[in-house]
Amino acid sequence: MIAQKYKNQFFLGGCAILFLACSLLLYHAVPNASSHLDIDSVGYDIIATHFADTHNLSDPRDMASAPIQPVGYPLFLGLIYASAGHDYAYVVFAQLLVLLMAGWILCAIAQQLFNRAVALLSVALCLVTLGFFIYPQFLLAEVLCLFFILGFFERFLSFMRTGLTNQLWQAGLPLGISVLVKPMALLYIFCLLPVLIFYKHKKYKWVHACLILTISFYAPIISYMSYNYYRYNRFALAPMTELNMYQCFLSKVIAHVDGVPVQQVLDNQLAFKGAHTFDSAGWDGAKKLFFKYVRQHPLACVRVWLTNVTKTLVGLYSTQLKVLLEPSIKGGDHSFFKISGTYYERAMGYIMQGTTSAVVKTLSFFEVVWSIIRWMLVFIAFFVLLSRKYYMICWLFGSFIAQSAFVTGMDGCCRYRIMFEPLLIILAAVGIVVILAWIESWRINEKSFFSRQRFGFFTQCNTRK
């Protein structure tokens, strides 16, 4: 037992060292400092720099308006700038450390739900996921948001196993904080409340659990909304929802229906005309157009939404790698949907174009193959878990993956998948274990190989199907 423990620690330590070594090589391959900035990064950087200089979390370009997005990530950047200086190297180093901690939490989640083999395999699969190497190199909120989301899952699953109330408090808080970094999990609370109702059998117990989770989740969110009310006279999270719905989503719908460039639509039809970012009247013209196109062209709206969700689900992280390493490529430039030709020609262009590096092209092909295999493994895992009636696990993972992908229908991108990529990795690891179990079962003709004891799922889910 002790020897096995040391072997596991050695394996995890080796994975961490390999991850840091590859990340260091990638950092040195980045051509210049501005390559660490993607489309959203500029706004984060400006607010963070202003905070480091003045301790004021405002956008210096428009001090009277609230920042478009919640300021959790600019605060993180600003604290780094204030303590270490305005150097992107410190940001990359901090995000690598955050991602290492997230990897440790992922391992703990996999071991709680399944067993040590699935946990170690999940960590190993992280090393073949390009996104985990790429996004710490960018000034983007995904890594920090992922850390808080995984912290939620670890605490929530611990509560499901032990029933300790303090662990439920500890679960709701990081989920709420993640919304202040990037509001991907804003709707997930509504998927969790039925779980607590299903989990608790004693009278009124489920009410108590739902109240605890709801209060702890909304505490940081309401606090931030109160700050916005005090500062900008608007009790709201951020003005990003209307911007995303009209300028990101509706612009694509209009461009698709009318056959005009997206930028032309933005300049001529969807320009914001409000006095400040929380001024909803500035979107009156866009709002009328939105209902007009939804009413007259519902299929076009559905098509654009599903296209964006598809970008999130199957987009290649290697596209972001090209943005990082090729100064001439900007975020959104290299997209499957912008390439002309047959589906095969567009797919090959999506993989091969946008870089002159043979290494990047090879990694792109590798990612395509791994992505196909990974999704097959995920479906196998869901099939086996459902067939064994582990409904709770399937609901927790499946609902988070589904809602996280669905909300990106306004503007899809592969980097949004990074928030639920760890869940896909854990399921892929389960799929691999299942396949190995099938092989062993066929070899020794042991039809009862898939006993519940082999996987060690926690008891609560076994008894509350």
Crossing angle for the helix pair 298-314 and 391-406, to the nearest 10 degrees: 120
Q: What is the pLDDT of residues 135-171, one digit of tens each?
A: 999 999 999 999 999 999 999 999 988 888 899 999 9
Amino acid at 184: M
Contact by Cβ (8 Å): 71, 57: yes
Residue 24 has a CB neighbour count (10 Å cut-off) of 13
Q: What values do phi and psi take at 361, rounded to 5?
A: -65, -40
Contact by Cβ (8 Å): 157, 109: yes
d(CA 24, CA 27): 5
Sign of the CA dihedral with 159 first, then 165, 170, and 171 last: positive
Contact by Cβ (8 Å): 431, 377: yes
Closest-CA residue to 102 (of 60, 152, 63): 152
Burial grade of 277 (CB within 10 A; 0-12, 13-18, 19 or more): buried
Q: Taking CA 395 as the corner, what is the angle to CA 390 and CA 396, rounded to the nearest 5 degrees?
A: 105
Residue 324 has a CB neighbour count (10 Å cut-off) of 23
Contact by Cβ (8 Å): 135, 143: yes
* The pLDDT value given to residue 419: 94
* The pLDDT value given to residue 357: 86
Contact by Cβ (8 Å): 75, 51: yes
* The pLDDT value given to residue 458: 38
- The distance of Cα 222 from the centroid of its chain, to the nearest Å, equals 22
Please, how many CA atoms are within 13 Å of residue 151, restricted to the half-sphere of its CB? 21
* The pLDDT value given to residue 204: 53
- The H-assigned helical ranges of 284-390 are 284-296, 298-314, 317-325, 343-352, 358-387
- Residue spans of the chain under pLDDT 50: 201, 203, 447-450, 452-465
3-state secondary structure 247-265: HHHHHHHHHHHHCCCHHHH
d(CA 382, CA 264): 44
Closest-CA residue to 214 (of 181, 162, 166, 171): 171
d(CA 419, CA 400): 10
Domain locations in the chain? 2-240+352-463
d(CA 184, CA 403): 8
* The pLDDT value given to residue 449: 44
What are the CA-CA distances from residue 185 to residues 148, 158, 172, 198 (Å)? Answer: 10, 19, 11, 21
Name the DSSP letter for residue 349.
H
On average, the pLDDT of the chain sits at 88
List the structure tokens of 87: 């150097």
pTM above 0.85, yes or no: yes
Amino acid at 271: A
Q: What is the pLDDT of residues 444-462, one digit of tens each?
A: 765 444 454 444 443 334 3
List the structure tokens of 238: 């951020």
User: Please, which residues have CB within 8 angstroms of residue 438's CB and are 6 or more apart in sequence?
Assistant: none
List the structure tokens of 333: 């430039």
